[in-house]
């Protein structure tokens, strides 16, 4: 199916985009990034934050580019003085009711609000007034919710409804008291509908929703992100392990993940901490008189080699069997098969595909 | 899966789920299904349990446990009677249709309704809907396979898809969601008693000779033992020594007491594990294992997608698992030496035509590759069976109804069915401090009618007893389960559900019948 292309002018450049695109999408296709807070390409458009306003020739208002469709011959300026002034005012309005504790905020470095304030030189707000004083919800081991930092972009509400379909988050009240919160406005832990997938955290542009394990552990720019594949279930989600000074401190979604984009489940996003369980085995153990005793690798290998050879010589190859693992890597499984076949001389190798 | 996960949101018009609970067992796939259903993709859920996706479904076929074959035969019966089968597909791409037709002939809607508990009207509606929808996908998991007739159940799903030409095209297919992160890969790598990597039979001379040449030793062409056969052989004294990597059969295999006895009989057991598991307790030597975050390598997901696993931290036991295996094997006099896991992959790929075109560099460039991928300029294969099946013609393999091995009776009046819950995975999650701080104990599901008779409410305790063992559990009273059924997960060592499960096995795969066992319940 051929999609009709529409020609328009953005920032003095002739560009093309498929009919039906928004100005924001057309600009993105042309490599022009328009500032945005509520827009998220994986979620339905909302047009709430107004930060993506642009100037369109012949239009005396500044339309929100995330919800304004393109038309042929349209002339758009994404960074005109009027646009910059409008964005500055919008940011001042947003931070009028936002704690300016960026120096201790865990999201700084990955906070869009702070990034745009930096870009437009917004330090404080001319709109002094009442500020929220919501209690911080850290009722659960996974998510910290600080609604004082919420800018009502609705990304969490849309992620909960559109990505996970849990329908747990929605808006409550009107005006100054409007909040994006759980069903029944309870803490996350008391929320029956919450499945702790953390999609709300992954899409939040500010410090309103953050990963509890990252709290106080690292500035965002000090985190090394190592992309890997989830060790639970066969879906094959990818994510980034957040590493600081050789230690994993959390899981961060990666929009480039082929299967899942930023979607994860409670296990993938928050279940990784078994890695540091104090019960992890750290050295080989040999059972002596019914009790396990710590041994060196060489002692363990020597005993294994002796016993496996002894049993193979005495009873034959078929007296040996190996259980490989559906939780281990391909490479490890290949080696277990090779060991069983080439060294022990039997095809007695299996794994839990059938159990 | 014959088709990619992305078909759920991008291609298909109908999702037919049977014996699968995706929002808990494969959550991200489940979330995508819910999204698809909400944007208008039709959804049929066949499940005795009121799983979450029932709330999004156009049809919920609440079949009695263990009646999947009658249901599928019944749908095919209606499709054939009404002339809705894909005659061209059957003619050109399949064989043995006449036998299918003969067997499903007796599965009239009335008989099937009686066997399954599903209304005749719903059988007609769903049969017509599936047959008339151009692009329809069948999804199943262990609710289909964990029966003594598991293989027959799977074949019946394939029969339904072939009958209506729902294979070999985008948005169609038969899609088992594999349960574990690398169960697909472990099979692909030849961690199976009958095949080398790439599903090359150990009894096939050419395949064996190729491996003998590469590995420099003669190899056995005799098919090895499957897991249940291994434990039986250990029990009977033929298997004397075992090496177990990252598995905990005492907790996860059916009829746990039998497994324990088998392990006790071994002369020598080596376990390579993260934790001192119930199985590792039986070991003579334990080798500490490294977690996924401590190793380089690859996992292959349920849609045959090979993706990288990347080492993020130093291995906690000091070395990665592949290094431990290499050192152990080298000590036995067979030198095994690789600089890096990519060299292990390359050796495997050089021996496996279906994965020969995949290497680490290409995975890094393309993010992931779906096999078959025979050459390094091949883009990978998202959809299987396009134009032709692997074996040539698709073979209809019809089956009569096979009831479960053990059904409730006067002494054991309840039907036990088991599965996974959202928050836990088979083995590692109980060691997650975060997860286990909230979800720390078994909450078995019992219908309100039964709860009243037993005199229990949510939070009370029950003793569950089968012919093989017993377990104590907490109760959750819910109409998610039918009266007469108790549903349990198998995650908690405080409630060893697999002490109860049936010793019935599928005769072809050796898969245990985890989905049906007879138990009695007593309030304690």
* % of chain B at pLDDT higher than 70: 100
Residue A126 confidence (pLDDT) = 82
Average confidence (pLDDT) over B275-299: 96
Tell me if chain B has a CB within 8 Å of the CB of A323: yes
Residue B511 confidence (pLDDT) = 86
> What rounded mean pLDDT belongs to chain A?
95
- Domain ends where: A79, A97, A129? A79
In a domain, A236, yes or no: yes
In a domain, A177, yes or no: yes
* Structural domain for A250, as ranges: 105-111+121-276
Band of residue A1 on the pLDDT scale cut at 50, 70, 90: low
Residue B427 confidence (pLDDT) = 72
My answer on whether A239 and A187 are in the same domain is yes
Band of residue A355 on the pLDDT scale cut at 50, 70, 90: low
Pairing status of strand A320-323 against strand A291-294? unpaired
Closest-CA residue of chain A to B510: A354
In a domain, A87, yes or no: no
Residue B483 neighbours by CB distance under 10 Å: 13
In a domain, A132, yes or no: yes
In a domain, A147, yes or no: yes
Query: Which pLDDT tens digit goes with each residue over A204-241?
Result: 999 999 999 999 999 999 999 999 999 999 999 999 99
The total number of structural domains in chain A stands at 3
Where does B332-471 have alpha helices with state H?
Answer: 341-351, 360-366, 433-438, 448-454
Can you tell me the distance from the alpha carbon of A83 to that of A92, in angstroms, rounded to the nearest whole number? 14
Query: Which pLDDT tens digit goes with each residue over A303-338?
Result: 999 999 999 999 999 999 999 999 999 999 999 999
My answer on whether A223 and A334 are in the same domain is no
My answer on whether A264 and A303 are in the same domain is no
In a domain, A322, yes or no: yes
My answer on whether A60 and A158 are in the same domain is no
Is the pLDDT assigned to residue B73 strictly greater than 60?
yes
Residue A353 confidence (pLDDT) = 74
Band of residue B3 on the pLDDT scale cut at 50, 70, 90: very high
Taking the CA of residue A96 and the nearest CA in chain B, the distance in Å comes to 36
- Domain ends where: A241, A276, A311? A276
Is the pLDDT assigned to residue B190 strictly greater than 60?
yes
Query: Which pLDDT tens digit goes with each residue over B91-119?
Result: 999 999 999 999 999 999 999 999 999 99
Band of residue A31 on the pLDDT scale cut at 50, 70, 90: very high
Tell me if chain A has a CB within 8 Å of the CB of B39: no
Query: Which pLDDT tens digit goes with each residue over A123-150?
Result: 988 888 888 999 999 999 999 999 999 9
Can you tell me the distance from the alpha carbon of B354 to that of B348, in angstroms, rounded to the nearest whole number? 11
- Domain ends where: A276, A308, A328? A276
Closest-CA residue of chain B to A193: B52
Nearest to B77, CA basis, from B126, B44, B42, B117: B126
Query: Which pLDDT tens digit goes with each residue over B481-510?
Result: 999 999 999 888 889 898 899 888 888 888
DSSP class per residue in A135-166:
PPB--SSSEEE-GGG-----HHHHIIIIII--
- Subunit contact B438:A141, Cβ cutoff 8 A: yes
Residue B442 confidence (pLDDT) = 94
Band of residue B253 on the pLDDT scale cut at 50, 70, 90: confident
Is the pLDDT assigned to residue B222 strictly greater than 80?
yes
* % of chain A at pLDDT higher than 70: 99
In a domain, A329, yes or no: yes
Is the pLDDT assigned to residue B251 strictly greater than 90?
no
End-to-end Cα, chain A, rounded Å: 46
My answer on whether A327 and A255 are in the same domain is no
Query: Which pLDDT tens digit goes with each residue over A151-177?
Result: 999 999 999 999 999 999 999 999 999
Average confidence (pLDDT) over B433-440: 92
- Subunit contact B321:A329, Cβ cutoff 8 A: yes
Phi and psi for A244 in degrees, rounded to 5? -130, 125
Average confidence (pLDDT) over B366-389: 95
Taking the CA of residue B215 and the nearest CA in chain A, the distance in Å comes to 7
My answer on whether A226 and A208 are in the same domain is yes
**B335: region left, alpha or beta (phi > 0 left; psi from -120 to 50 alpha):** beta
> What rounded mean pLDDT belongs to chain B?
95
My answer on whether A206 and A184 are in the same domain is yes
Residue B294: its chain A contacts at CB < 8 A?
A: 275
Tell me if chain B has a CB within 8 Å of the CB of A299: no
Residue B270: its chain A contacts at CB < 8 A?
A: 304, 308
In a domain, A164, yes or no: yes
My answer on whether A126 and A206 are in the same domain is yes
Tell me if chain A has a CB within 8 Å of the CB of B283: yes
Residue B256 confidence (pLDDT) = 81
Q: Which of A23-37, A285-299, B205-219, B429-443 has the lowest mean pLDDT?
A: B429-443
Residue B422: its chain A contacts at CB < 8 A?
A: 195, 265-267
Residue B512 confidence (pLDDT) = 87
My answer on whether A261 and A151 are in the same domain is yes
My answer on whether A227 and A171 are in the same domain is yes
- Subunit contact B308:A140, Cβ cutoff 8 A: no
Give A33-39's long-range contacts (Cβ < 8 A, gap of 24+). A34/A65, A34/A66, A34/A78, A35/A87, A35/A116, A35/A119, A36/A66, A36/A112, A37/A94, A37/A112, A37/A113, A37/A116, A37/A151, A37/A153, A37/A205, A38/A66, A38/A153, A38/A154, A38/A155, A39/A66
- Subunit contact B287:A284, Cβ cutoff 8 A: yes
Domains by residue range for chain B, with CATH: 7-177 (3.40.228.10), 179-220+292-375 (3.40.50.740), 225-289 (3.40.228.10), 414-523 (2.40.40.20)
């Amino acid at each position: 199916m051929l999609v009709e292309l529409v020609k328009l002018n953005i920032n003095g450049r002739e560009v093309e985009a498929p009919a039906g695109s928004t100005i924001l999408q057309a600009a993105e296709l042309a490599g022009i990034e328009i500032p945005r807070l509520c827009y998220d390409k994986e979620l339905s458009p909302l047009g709430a934050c107004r930060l993506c306003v642009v100037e369109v020739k012949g239009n005396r208002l500044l339309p929100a580019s995330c919800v304004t469709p393109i038309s042929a011959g349209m002339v758009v300026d994404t960074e005109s003085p009027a646009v910059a002034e409008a964005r500055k005012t919008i940011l001042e309005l947003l931070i009028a009711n936002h704690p300016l504790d960026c120096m201790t905020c865990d999201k700084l470095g990955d906070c869009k609000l702070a990034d745009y304030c930096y870009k437009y030189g917004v330090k404080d707000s001319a709109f002094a007034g009442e500020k929220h004083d919501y209690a911080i919800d850290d009722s659960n081991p996974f998510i910290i919710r600080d609604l004082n930092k919420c800018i009502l972009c609705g990304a969490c509400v849309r992620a909960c409804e559109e990505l996970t379909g849990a329908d747990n988050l929605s808006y409550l009240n009107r005006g100054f008291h409007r909040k994006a919160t759980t069903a029944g406005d309870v803490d996350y832990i008391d929320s029956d509908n919450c499945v702790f997938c953390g999609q709300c955290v992954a899409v939040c542009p500010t410090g309103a929703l953050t990963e509890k394990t990252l709290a106080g552990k690292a500035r965002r720019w000090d985190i090394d992100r190592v992309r890997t594949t989830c060790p639970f279930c066969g879906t094959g989600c990818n994510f980034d392990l957040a590493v600081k000074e050789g230690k994993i401190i959390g899981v961060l979604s990666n929009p480039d993940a082929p299967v899942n984009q930023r979607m994860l489940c409670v296990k993938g996003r928050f279940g990784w901490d078994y890695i540091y369980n104090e019960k992890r085995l750290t050295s080989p153990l040999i059972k002596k008189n019914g009790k396990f005793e710590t041994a060196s690798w060489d002692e363990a290998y020597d005993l294994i080699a002796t016993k496996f050879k002894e049993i193979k010589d005495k009873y034959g190859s078929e007296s040996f069997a190996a259980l490989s693992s559906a939780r281990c890597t391909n490479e490890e499984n290949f080696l277990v098969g090779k060991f069983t076949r080439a060294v022990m001389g039997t095809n007695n190798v299996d794994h839990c595909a059938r159990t | 899966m014959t088709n990619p996960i992305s078909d759920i949101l991008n291609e298909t018009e109908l999702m037919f789920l049977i014996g699968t609970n995706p929002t808990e067992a494969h959550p991200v796939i489940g979330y995508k299904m819910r999204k698809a259903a909400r944007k208008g993709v039709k959804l049929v859920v066949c499940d005795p349990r009121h799983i979450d996706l029932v709330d999004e479904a156009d049809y919920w076929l609440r079949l009695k446990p263990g009646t999947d074959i009658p249901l599928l035969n019944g749908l095919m019966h209606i499709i054939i009677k009404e002339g809705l089968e894909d005659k061209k597909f059957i003619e050109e791409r399949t064989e043995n249709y006449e036998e299918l037709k003969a067997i499903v002939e007796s599965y009239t809607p009335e008989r099937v309704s009686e066997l399954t508990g599903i209304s005749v009207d719903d059988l007609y509606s769903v049969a017509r809907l599936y047959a008339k929808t151009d692009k329809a996908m069948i999804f199943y998991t262990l609710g289909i396979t964990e029966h003594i007739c598991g293989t027959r159940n799977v074949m019946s799903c394939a029969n339904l898809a072939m009958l209506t030409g729902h294979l070999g095209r985008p948005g169609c297919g038969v899609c088992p969601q594999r349960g574990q992160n690398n169960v697909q890969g472990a099979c692909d790598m030849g961690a199976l008693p009958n095949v080398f990597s790439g599903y090359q039979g150990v009894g096939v001379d050419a395949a064996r000779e190729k491996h003998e040449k590469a590995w420099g030793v003669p190899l056995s062409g005799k098919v090895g033992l499957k897991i249940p056969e291994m434990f039986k052989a250990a029990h009977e004294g033929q298997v004397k020594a075992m090496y177990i990597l990252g598995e905990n059969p005492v907790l996860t295999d059916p009829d746990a007491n039998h497994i324990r006895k088998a392990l006790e009989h071994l002369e020598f057991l080596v376990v390579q594990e993260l934790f001192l598991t119930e199985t590792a307790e039986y070991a003579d030597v334990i080798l500490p294992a490294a977690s996924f975050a401590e190793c380089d390598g690859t996992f292959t997901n349920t849609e045959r997608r090979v993706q990288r696993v990347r080492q993020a931290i130093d291995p906690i036991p000091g070395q990665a698992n592949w290094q431990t295996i290499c050192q152990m094997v080298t000590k036995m006099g067979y030198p095994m030496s690789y600089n890096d896991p990519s060299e292990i992959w390359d050796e495997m790929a050089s021996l496996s035509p279906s994965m020969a075109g995949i290497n680490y560099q290409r995975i890094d460039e393309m993010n992931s590759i779906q096999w078959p991928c025979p050459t390094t300029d091949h883009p990978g294969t998202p959809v299987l069976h396009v134009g032709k099946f692997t074996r040539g013609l698709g073979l209809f393999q019809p089956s009569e109804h096979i009831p479960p091995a053990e059904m409730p009776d006067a002494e054991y009046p309840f039907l036990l069915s088991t599965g996974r819950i959202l928050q836990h995975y088979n083995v590692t999650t109980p060691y997650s401090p975060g997860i286990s701080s909230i979800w720390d104990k078994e909450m078995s599901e019992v219908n309100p009618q039964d709860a009243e008779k037993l005199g229990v409410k949510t939070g009370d305790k029950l003793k569950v007893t089968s012919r093989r063992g017993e377990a104590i559990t907490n109760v959750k009273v819910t109409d998610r389960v039918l009266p007469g059924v108790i549903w349990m997960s198998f995650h908690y060592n405080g409630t060893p559900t697999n002490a109860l499960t049936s010793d019935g096995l599928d005769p072809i795969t050796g898969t245990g019948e985890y989905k049906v066992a007879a138990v009695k319940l007593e309030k304690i």
